[in-house]
Amino acid sequence: MTETPATIEETLAELAENFDLLEDWEQRIEYVIDLGKDLVPLPEADRIEANKVPGCAAQVWLATRRLDGGRIRFLADSDSAISKGNVALLLMLFSDRTPDEILGLDARAALDRLGLPQALTRQRANGLNAMVGRIRQEAMAGA
């Protein structure tokens, strides 16, 4: 019997619990960077201009795959450890979800719940918002 994947809310709750255990913003950033270290490498063929996320301080690539059942898988990478961690966190929340699941989550409230935007510089927070915008755009295209 296969294990039922966690819902987007369950994944968010688990992330929030992990973030709550961290004492300050430096530990939160270190945790995010560690998430990025576990990111599956992005195929070289996906490192194209069309997959770059504009508005990020670093180079961030976000590729999509349409799966059976309407789910969307996101693949991503960045040349910056913090941006790579941020996109890894977003993939934990949004990858392999349906467009309705993706669009049904208030991403800004979710990230605020984690305290992530407050821990980032303004430019990095803008990049995080750009990544979320791109994910939502892909979900709207698949809805």
- Cα–Cα distance between 83 and 55 in angstroms, integer? 12
For residue 113, with 0-12 CB atoms within 10 Å meaning exposed, 13-18 middle and 19 or more buried, which class applies?
A: middle
Q: Which of 56, 76, 131, 135 is catalytic?
A: 56
What is the chain's Cα-based Rg?
14
Q: Is 29 a catalytic residue?
A: no
Residue 103: Cβ-neighbour burial (10 angstroms; 0-12, 13-18, 19+): middle
Q: Hey, which residues are catalytic here?
A: 56
